[in-house]
Amino acid sequence: MERNRLVTDHLDLQPITMADADRLAVFHADARVMNLLQHGVLTREQSDALVANYEAEWPALGFGNWTATERATGKLVGLGGLRIHTGDHGVAIRLAFTPEAQGKGYGTELCRAALAFAFDVARLDRVVAITRSDNLPSQRSLEKSGMVREREITMESGRVVALYAAFNPNGGR
C-alpha cells in the first residue's frame, strides 16, 4: 500500500485500512462533517462496514480513499479519494474535512493529488465530482483543481447537485 501513499505540501494521504477504524468512527459520527455527505452520520457498525469497503477497493480497483493527516500536527483532518459513483457517473472524487481544517486549501490539495493519481497511476480517462449546488467552497476547490462544471443534476431526493469533471490529459486507458 506504500506505493498508494501520497504526500502533499500539507497532507499525508494514506490508503484507508481497518487500522483506521477507531479514528474514522469518530470522524463518521461528527454531524458537522457528515451532514454534507450523501449518507450522513454513521453508527460505529456502519462506519466499520464503510472502512472495510474502503480497504477492499484498493486491491480490487487499483484506487480508493485516503485518510488525510495534517503533516504539521499528525492530526486526522479528513478523508477523500476515488470511488465508483452509484449514480452511473463513473469514478468520482469525494472529500470530507473537519470544520477546523476547512478553509485551509486542503480540499484543493487532496483533489489535485487524487486527480494526479487517477490519471498517472490508475490511468483513468475521466473523473467526476458531485457537490451540493449551495456548497460554494467545495465548488471553488474543484475548480482550482482543474475540474469543470458540466451540469446540474436533480437527485431522487429532490436535492440539486453540481456535476464537475476532469479528463486525463494523457488519454487514460
What are 41-50's pLDDT values in tens digits?
889 999 999 9
Distance of alpha carbon 109 from alpha carbon 78, whole angstroms: 12
For 131-168, give one letter per residue: b (16+ CB within 10 A) or e: bbeeeeebbebbeebebeeeeeeeeeeeeebbbbbbeb
pLDDT at residue 160, rounded to an integer: 87
User: What's the whole-number mean pLDDT along residues 129-152?
Assistant: 92
- What is the structure's pLDDT at 170? 83
What is the arithmetic mean of pLDDT over 112-138? 92
**What does the pLDDT average to over 143-159?**
90
Of all residues in the chain, the percent with pLDDT exceeding 70 is 95
Helix (H) or strand (E) holding 70: strand 65-70
Q: Are 163 and 132 in contact (CB under 8 A)?
A: no
- Output the pLDDT for position 30: 86
Residue 2 pLDDT class (50, 70, 90 cuts)? low
Cα distance from N-terminal residue to C-terminal residue, the chain: 22
pLDDT at residue 9, as a whole number: 95
Q: If you average pLDDT over residues 127-153, what whole number do you get?
A: 92
In contact, 7 and 71? CB cutoff 8 Å? yes
Question: Which pLDDT score, from 0 to 100, does residue 172 have?
Answer: 54
Read off the pLDDT band of 143 (50, 70, 90): very high
- Please check whether residue 78 is in contact with residue 97, taking contact to mean a CB–CB distance below 8 angstroms: yes
With a CB cutoff of 8 Å and minimum separation 6, the contacts of 29 are 41, 42, 43, 44, 47
Average pLDDT of the residues in 69-97: 91
Domains of the chain: residue spans and CATH: 2-125 (3.40.630.30)
b (16+ CB within 10 A) / e for 23-36: ebbebbeeeebbee
pLDDT digits (tens, 9 = 90+) for 21-33: 999 999 899 888 8
